[in-house]
Amino acid sequence: MSRIGRITTLLMAVLREIFDESAYQRFLALSGMASSRGAYARFMREREGTKLRAPRCC
């Protein structure tokens, strides 16, 4: 793979993490669900619950 191809692949992976696409794919894999409105709603509820429990610093 060329250097530009590797950089593009890395950039796409970073963007998927930033915009939670990777997290959603991991959620689907762990829960055994297919992508749907209901699955995304459940993902968002769990994600919000996690953010609320996270301790804040400073």
Angle at 15 between CA 39 and CA 46, to 5 degrees: 30
Instruction: Give the pLDDT confidence of 28-41 residue by residue, as tens digits.
Output: 999 999 999 999 99
C-alpha span between 23 and 18 (Å, rounded): 9
Task: Indicate the pTM of the whole model.
Answer: 0.72
Does the pLDDT value for residue 43 go beyond 90? Answer: yes
DSSP string, the chain: --HHHHHHHHHHHHHHHHTTHHHHHHHHHHHTPPSSHHHHHHHHHHHHHHHHHSPPP-
* Residue 24 token pair: 């959603």
